[in-house]
Amino acid sequence: MTDVTSLNAPHAVTTRRLDGPSGAKPKRAISPRNVFIYGTLLLVSVYYLLPLYVMIVTSLKGMPEIRLGNIFAPPVEVTFEPWVKAWATACTGLNCDGLSRGFWNSVQITVPSVILSIAIASVNGYALANWRFKGADVFFTILIFGAFIPYQVMLYPIVILLRELGIYGTLWGLILVHTIFGMPILTLLFRNYFTSVPEELFKAARVDGAGFWGIYFKIMLPMSLPIFVVAMIIQITGVWNDFLFGVVYTKPDVYPMTVQLNNIVNSVQGVKEYNVNMAATIITGLVPLIVYFVSGKLFVRGIAAGAVKG
Amino acid sequence: MTSVSIRDLTLKFGSLEVLKSLNLDIDEGEFLVLLGPSGCGKSTLLNCIAGLLDISDGQIFIGGNNVTWSEPSERGIGMVFQSYALYPQMTVEGNLAFGLKNARMPKDQIAERIARAAEVLQIEPLLKRKPAQLSGGQRQRVAIGRALVRDVDVFLFDEPLSNLDAKLRAELRVEIKRLHHRLKNTMIYVTHDQIEALTLADRIAIMRNGIIQQLDTPHEIYNRPVNLYVAGFMGSPGMNFIEGDITHHSEAAINFGSTRIPLERYPFIRSDRPEKAIFGIRPEHVSCGAAAAGEPFTADVEIEVVEPMGADTLVWAVLDGKEFRFRVDGQSPLRAGETARIGFDPAKASIFDMATELRL
């Protein structure tokens, strides 16, 4: 009511709005633009999610139901039998204790590999970015060059190397390999991140009497959580999903999960148990998936931060 | 007594000589400003003094000790950076304590030092905050505090006010000057802002291409620049430069077009008289209108542009075919297109040899 009275008051005439558009432009919910954008997004999501849907659905069906051939149909009778079997009793070669053995092997491989490679690579990147020692550029170039050499070239030489070290076929041999091969990309990642940290901060710390490790632990580390998360995700997924190194450098009782999965799925004897295969595959992929979901936000932030400079 | 002394300092990046055998003596308690355009080597020099850059040749003494090869923390210096460079994950208190903890100072002594610095800089209420929660001015205060707690002899400032807005810059400028009066430390201050240099410095060193052009008091540098570069760099708006011929039959004068400026009042510092010279007069040393009549030299100029700046007005005019700027009172009624009578005292001018660009 106050609006109306003030509008009618003589002094308000000058402030009255003229005819025509006024205020915020109205937005239509269904415009060609929105239809196009959301339509495309929907299509792409379906394209990506459909296989996952099929896997989940199949893993919850019994074999008779699978044989009917309706792969998109939801399960009539939900059963968790295949999951239990995949985890605990599926046979790979001589062992019949399912994926559980491979899971623990993979954990034992991934955790030290990730910690070791990140610890070393972050110090590398810090030294390369902030302590411009003589030959730093040459060293960096060599390291990056390493990232472009195909793994296959180095497979056999590393077998010999591990044999001479006496750790061929052990978990520690594989951990060493993962740590070394993670080095180029992780060092690049950390170097670029640390270069984007203002140089004056580093200078201030030096004036304040902090040394190489003092600056690293007290100044750089606390500032670099996002990039550590990115490095962790890259390494966890990389090491967890690795098949080639796992199959080459380990023996059956220390096979990582991926190799065991392959052995379950590709076993030639007996009936193909699609539901068990699907369940086993999902279980194997679950770890990287969880890592992504938990740290997705930090991941994006870290990628963006590392991308700004260098 | 000398506090900081630099002997034949040379710094090379590859084949590029950034500092060329530079010598500089700074007295104890002196406020020295290194002034110059970007890329002149002033920040580089400061980094060399701090020990953050390894020098190629020469020596550096601080407080009588040869610190040429010492670590930054061993040199007895504190440094304040342009971007504040506060450790983002530490509180203000943590920032102040960091250097002292590295020096393994006992806790109670650290607390004492912090309390004193916080009192001097009036940052006591901020001690528990993180740098991100502070304004630009507060951050710079903390950055100064970080140098202050270390109880050093020499303070190094690397363009500390450049990131602040104009008003805050003026406030902190006064505060730094007050701090200097109170602490009486040696301070070396790098800036490209001549107002900061003129207001703060006991002496100014004007640098160009890694060489100190002139090292003198602000008054001398402003009134008696040693060469054309210094004359042009100091002052805003810049000095008027007019090329002319020097004649000296009966009395010395400089001529251009049909204008003759008598130079008998000009204090020559050299006895030789090159033919070609550049005559320089600051816009603020020119008077206009009635005041011009009393000056030793007067002329008529055509006004092209008038720029009112509040307190005063800058007039762009033409003096015998040459561009000529002068400053008048902000209330001046001068308009573009008019003719004005101007005058100045050649004693306040600067004359440079056109060939060597050195002061005559």
Residues of B in contact with A208 (CB under 8 A): 73, 98-99, 102, 146, 150
**Contact across the interface for B79 and A204, Cβ inside 8 Å:** yes
Residue A263's pLDDT is: 87
Weakest-pLDDT range from A69-78, A123-132, B151-160, B225-234: A69-78
Do B74 and B92 lie in a common domain? yes
Tell me, yes or no, whether A95 lies in a domain. Answer: no
Chain A residues closer than 8 Å to B86 by CB = 204
pLDDT at position A5 over 60: no
Taking CA atoms, A241 is separated from A49, A121, A232, A302, B240, in Å, by: 20, 20, 14, 22, 73
Q: For the segment B51-79, what is each residue's pLDDT rounded down to a tens digit?
A: 999 899 999 999 889 999 999 999 999 99
| B7, part of any domain | yes
Contact A200 B50 (CB under 8 A): no
The pLDDT of residue B32: 95
Residue B98 and residue B37 share a domain: yes
pLDDT at residue A43, as a whole number: 96
- B190, B239: one domain: no
Query: Is A203 near chain B, with CB under 8 Å?
Result: yes
Q: Are A254 and A184 contained in the same domain?
A: yes
For residue A44, the enclosing domain spans 26-79
Any domain includes A18: no
Please tell me whether residues A172 and A49 are part of one structural domain: no
Which of B202, B228, B254 is at the close of a domain?
A: B228
Q: B87 contacts in A (CB within 8 Å)?
A: 201, 204-205, 218-219
The pLDDT value given to residue A310: 31
In a domain, A51, yes or no: yes
Q: Are residues A265 and A208 in the same domain?
A: yes
CB contact under 8 A, A207 and B79: yes
For residues B203 and B267, state if they share a domain: no
- State the residue range of the domain holding B86: 2-228
| pLDDT grade for A305, boundaries at 50, 70 and 90 | low
Is residue A87 included in any domain, yes or no?
no
Is there a contact between B99 and A209 if contact means CB atoms under 8 Å apart? Answer: yes
Average confidence (pLDDT) over A253-263 = 89
In a domain, A84, yes or no: no
- Indicate if A292 and A179 belong to the same structural domain: yes
Task: Flag if B72 and A201 touch (Cβ within 8 Å).
Answer: no
Average pLDDT for residues A66-70, to the nearest whole number? Answer: 84
Of B228, B257, B291, which marks where a domain is finished? B228
Alpha-carbon distances of A31 from A25, A37, A44, B199, rounded to whole Å: 14, 10, 20, 62
| B149 and B240 both lie in a single domain | no
Half-sphere exposure of B189 (CA within 13 A, CB side): 30
Q: Write the residue in A203, A206, A209 that is nearest to B103 by C-beta.
A: A209
In Å, how far is A36's CA from the nearest CA of chain B? 42
B87 in A contact zone (CB under 8 Å):
yes
Structure ipTM: 0.85
Inform me whether the C-beta atom of residue A201 falls under 8 Å from chain B C-beta atoms.
Answer: yes
Residue A308 has pLDDT above 80, yes or no: no
Residues contacting A307, CB < 8 A, separation 6+: A192
Lowest-pLDDT range, A159-168, A259-268, B28-37, B135-144?
Answer: A259-268
- Summarize pLDDT for B135-166 with one digit per residue, the tens: 888 999 999 999 999 888 899 999 999 888 88
pLDDT of residue B101: 92
Whether B283 and B209 share a structural domain: no
Q: What is the pLDDT of residue B271?
A: 80
% of chain A exceeding 70 in pLDDT:
90
Last residue in a domain, options B228, B244, B263: B228
pLDDT at A223 over 80: yes
Give me the pLDDT at residue A14, please.
64
Among B47, B73, B74, B150, the strongest candidate for a mutation testing the A interface, having the largest count of A CBs within 10 A, is B73
Query: What is the mean pLDDT of the segment spanning A101-128?
Result: 93
CA distance A224 to A218: 11
The alpha carbon of residue A184 is apart from the nearest alpha carbon of chain B, in Å, by 28
Mind listing the pLDDT tens digit for each residue in A124-152? Answer: 999 999 988 888 889 888 888 887 888 88
Binary contact (B73, A208; C-beta < 8 A): yes
Instruction: Name residues 41-60 of chain B within 8 A of A (Cβ).
Output: 47, 50-52
Task: Check whether residue A60 and residue A208 sit in a common domain.
Answer: no
Residue B359 lies in a domain: no
Same domain for B222 and B237, yes or no, is no
Give the pLDDT of residue A194: 92
The verdict on residue B360 lying in a domain is no
**For chain B, how many structural domains are there in total?**
2
User: How many structural domains does chain A have?
Assistant: 2
Average pLDDT over residues A177-197: 91
pLDDT at A153: 87
Least confident stretch, A304-308, B3-7, B78-82, B176-180:
A304-308
- Domain CATH for A274: 1.10.3720.10
- Structural domain includes residue A243: yes
CATH number, domain of B79, equals 3.40.50.300
Whether residue B250 lies inside any domain: the answer is yes
* Structure tokens given for A144: 């990056």
A208–B88 CB contact, under 8 Å:
no
CB contact under 8 A, B146 and A210: no
Per-residue pLDDT band for A302 (boundaries 50, 70, 90) equals low
Q: Give the residue with greater pLDDT, A38 vs A309.
A: A38
d(CA B94, CA B101): 9
Check whether residue A158 and residue A219 sit in a common domain. yes
- Whether B190 has a pLDDT exceeding 80, the answer reads yes
* Residue A305 near chain B (CB below 8 Å): no
- B141 and B116 both lie in a single domain: yes
Average pLDDT over residues A148-169: 89
Task: Tell me: do A295 and A247 sit in the same domain.
Answer: yes
Question: Is A214 within 8 Å of B85 when comparing Cβ atoms?
Answer: no
Rounded-to-integer distance, Cα B76 and Cα B65, Å = 10
Q: Which of B77, B83, B146 sits opposite A198 (nearest CB)?
A: B83
Q: Does A309 score more than 50 pLDDT?
A: no
Inform me whether the C-beta atom of residue A137 falls under 8 Å from chain B C-beta atoms.
Answer: no
CB contact under 8 A, B82 and A200: yes
Residues A267 and A129 in one domain: yes
pLDDT digits (tens, 9 = 90+) for B258-315: 888 888 888 888 888 888 899 999 999 999 888 888 888 999 999 999 999 888 999 9
Q: B229 touching A, CB under 8 A?
A: no
pLDDT tens readout for residues B12-46: 988 888 998 999 999 999 999 999 998 889 999 99
Does residue A3 surpass a pLDDT of 70? no
**A74 and A104 co-located in one domain:** no
Amino acid, single-letter form, for residue B102: N
A172 and A254 part of one domain: yes
- The reply to whether A78 touches chain B by the CB within 8 Å rule is no
Instruction: Identify the pLDDT of residue B100.
Output: 93
At residue A268 the predicted structure's pLDDT band, cuts being 50, 70 and 90, is: low
Average pLDDT over residues A224-247: 90
- B260 and B201 fall within a common domain: no
For residue A171, tell me if it sits in a domain.
yes
Average pLDDT, chain A: 85
Is there a single domain that holds both residue B136 and residue B267?
no
Question: Which of A46, A79, A112 represents a domain boundary (last residue)?
Answer: A79
Domain match, B175 and B265 both: no
Q: What is the CATH number of the domain that holds B286?
A: 2.40.50.140
Would A3 be classed as within a structural domain? no
Which of the four pLDDT bands, split at 50, 70 and 90, describes residue A307? Answer: very low
Do residues A133 and A274 share a domain?
yes
Residues A75 and A176 in one domain: no
